[in-house]
Amino acid sequence: MTIKPLACVALTAFLLGACAAGLVRLQSEVAPSTYSYSNFALYHAGRDTRVEVHGNPFSMDAAAFARAVTDHMQGANVGRPTHFTTTPGPSAERNMRVVMAFNSDADGYDLCNARFRPRGEVGVLTLKAAWCFAGREDSWVEATVGGAGSVNDPRFHDLVSQTVLNLFPTDMDYELLRDNGDRQRD
């Protein structure tokens, strides 16, 4: 192989690797006995939804990071809008919340009981999220993306918004998952 075709192959491999590094990878699950999209719509539509943000992969002010996370969450759910916030008003349902944990050692089912710790810096940004009713997870998502360098990076925005979209699947999405016998979505 001459230098020119070899250079083209190397460039193509580099570009494909760079694109793959920016893709958000998702795994999600709903609790089949408790999850219902209609509960999300009933308790959160047109109201504040309390969000807990754990971890801070960009070493910025914690309040500014949490605000950036909830800003990226706005409008990401299907159906009627809710206002995701770390400082909910009286309209928020007291027993329901969303937990967003960045670079955490948590299992999806540990998030609502706060049984996890942040991990050190890693090359891939991981977000584990759960929709909690008191200490019970009704749905959870684990998402990863490579190369996100700040809260303003489009890859970070995609990580957060795709996580929210998958955290609250509609009843139709859930029926499709259940009918296929597979409760994990990519």
Residue 46: what pLDDT? 93
Residue percentage of the chain with pLDDT more than 90: 44
pLDDT in tens, 46-103: 999 999 999 999 989 999 999 999 999 999 998 889 999 999 999 999 999 999 999 9
Residue 91: what pLDDT? 94
Beta-carbon neighbour count of residue 45 at 10 Å?
13
CATH fold group of domain 24-179: Double Stranded RNA Binding Domain (3.30.160)
Least trusted range by pLDDT, from 50-54, 66-70, 112-116, 144-148: 112-116
pLDDT value at 19 more than 60: no
Non-local (6+) Cβ contacts of 21 within 8 A are 146, 147
Domain boundaries, the chain: 24-179
Q: 131, 129, 156: which is closest to 24 by C-alpha?
A: 156
Least trusted range by pLDDT, from 20-24, 35-39, 98-102: 20-24
- Phi then psi dihedrals of residue 124, to 5 deg: -110, 130
